[in-house]
Structure 1
């Protein structure tokens, strides 16, 4: 009887620790129409993520992604080396890298691929990029 009570106590304690670990996850702000650039602490450093305002009154997450891409390119032209950035818009994270733009509800969660890079590096909706067709052999 004592063993069953001890096992139940261990299970409850384990669940409490698991839930406590989830509460430390970085959450994106839900401010309507505000586009943020997310600065995560570097490896080995402690501290919370910082959310820097890039633009206000943005109507859609895609427009926020465009503002973040514009900021990324401006920093690269000034000699910056950061080719991948993270932003947030109304509770969702925006990831911009060399393949394009993707969205996620959490930093570690699965990502929804939203915008692809065209041949010249611009961002476009994936279905609008046409691939060259091969002509049938004659």
Structure 2
């Protein structure tokens, strides 16, 4: 009887892991940046090729941000964009750019928005007492320099 409990627990764990594998993996095509559109109810998401030759995740995120801004300038209202680059998902929203291994799993901050809307490495952003980012310009050069 004592051997049954560990085997039963292992079996339940294996079933749980199998259920988790239904998640849609991001495509892994070297240097290709994708815009991801949610599928219809119950359907898989659609991956639209946005740019080739992107050497790093930052470049793909820049292409996605560029697409988001262009849509907004044309009268669109969609603030959130999802993309994919070499097996990772990229999520862009009003707070910044996030990355994750799945569409509905954990997300980690990649680039945060400064007070004036630019993107920067999170540790480089100055924040006020409430935690909101503050746009800071570089100090003016000293006279005679």
Of 35, 38, 49, the residue aligned with 2:36 is 38
Residues 90 and 15 of structure 1: CA distance in aligned 2, closer, same or farther (over 3 Å): same
TM-score normalised to structure 1 length? 0.79
Aligned to 1:136: none
CA shift for structure 1 position 8 = 8.3
**Offset at residue 81 of structure 1 (A):** 1.6
Q: Identify unmatched segments of 5+ residues in structure 2.
A: 128-133, 137-145
Deviation for aligned residue 1:54: 0.7
TM score, norm. by length of structure 2? 0.75
Cα RMSD of the aligned pairs, angstroms, is 2.5
Query: What pairs up with 1:45-124 in 2 under 5 angstroms?
Result: 45-124=41-120
Structure 1 spans left out of the alignment, 5+ residues: 134-138
1:29 to 27, 51, 61: 27
What's the CA shift string for 1:67-91, capped at 9, x where partnerless?
0000001111112121011111000
Higher relative contact order (CA 8 A, sep 6+): 1
